Amino acid sequence: NRTASSVRTYCYNLCWLAKRMDGFTETEVPKPEDVLKYMEDNEVPLKRRQMSFSSMKVLHNARNEPALSKQYAQPLVDVKYQLNKESFQQKRTQTQKKNWIDYKCLKKHAKELREKTFALDKNELWTKDQYAEAQLAFILTFHLKYPIRRDLCTVKYNVEDNENGNNLVGKSFVFKQHKLTRHKKEFTMRLDRVMWRLVQLLRRQHSMRGMTKGNLILNRYWKPILPNSFTNWMKREMGKLEACKGKNVSCLSIRHSVITHKRRNDTTLEQRKQFAENCMHSAAMNELYRIH
């Protein structure tokens, strides 16, 4: 009963491991002790270990090898314990320190990109660079208010058979396919005047290329983007901005920056609950985000 996004993530993690370990092929899988030794010898980060162990458990279960799957149970528990310990300390990891971008910089770049987009002739076909900047202007504007994960790239419009997916409904985004789907949760994000104007400009470029429905967020060749590809797209386009040069800034980096900023300004419990709802998680989860 796993979602297509979860399956893709597991496959990606297995591919990551297969590229780095000898004897990992489509038919041959390394022994658990070999995988654990590789993680220790190469000092693989905890988050990567967690994803790799989870994926290996799923793989062995799919191959009907419960004994091998169980050998990852305790290492996975130990990794989660260490990750939770770091989370409660609320300290940034070395990677986060390197890629962190200040909220004021995000806000400044979002404004600059919007102004460039609004100055373009909407009746002409934009170049790839112009379209990428216009799309990034919308993404930044959206994330500064709704710092969600990569779910934004799966939003569709005018697709009638996508009732259980993420859709543009009126002037709102309705998310029905995300990490909290198992809890039957649905989130509605109301677009403000500026965001709606940017959406209209993007859709106009779509229609001028013969597209009247499909994904709202597209790559540089006007094709749909998968979540992992969206991360790479964000890192590449954000890296062109002045404050992001030399950094890998993706949705997670923006999410941490925005949540940290908002937490310092939201004082009442109602404000914190409302903002957590915009982040698609609980108010308690906001407290685990890095602040140092």
User: What's the pLDDT tens digit per position in 114-147?
Assistant: 999 999 999 999 999 999 999 999 999 999 999 9
Section 206-211 average pLDDT: 94
Which of the four pLDDT bands, split at 50, 70 and 90, describes residue 197? very high
Which of the four pLDDT bands, split at 50, 70 and 90, describes residue 91? low
Q: Looking at the predicted structure, is the pLDDT value of residue 184 above 60?
A: yes
- R_g of the chain, CA atoms, integer Å: 21
Share of the chain above pLDDT 90, in %: 55
Which of the four pLDDT bands, split at 50, 70 and 90, describes residue 292? very low
Q: Looking at the predicted structure, is the pLDDT value of residue 41 above 60?
A: yes
Q: Looking at the predicted structure, is the pLDDT value of residue 289 above 80?
A: no
Lowest mean pLDDT among 85-99, 104-118, 178-192, 249-263: 85-99
pLDDT of residue 14: 92
3-class DSSP state for residue 190? Answer: strand
pLDDT of residue 88: 64
| Average pLDDT score, the chain | 88
pLDDT of residue 209: 94
Q: Looking at the predicted structure, is the pLDDT value of residue 291 above 60?
A: no
The model's pTM is 0.72
CA-to-CA separations, 23 to 31, 35, 164, in angstroms, rounded: 10, 11, 40
Q: Looking at the predicted structure, is the pLDDT value of residue 2 above 60?
A: yes
Tell me 119's DSSP state.
T
Q: Give residue 55's region: left, alpha or beta (phi > 0; psi -120 to 50).
A: alpha
Q: Looking at the predicted structure, is the pLDDT value of residue 262 above 90?
A: no
Q: Looking at the predicted structure, is the pLDDT value of residue 224 above 60?
A: yes
Which of the four pLDDT bands, split at 50, 70 and 90, describes residue 183? low
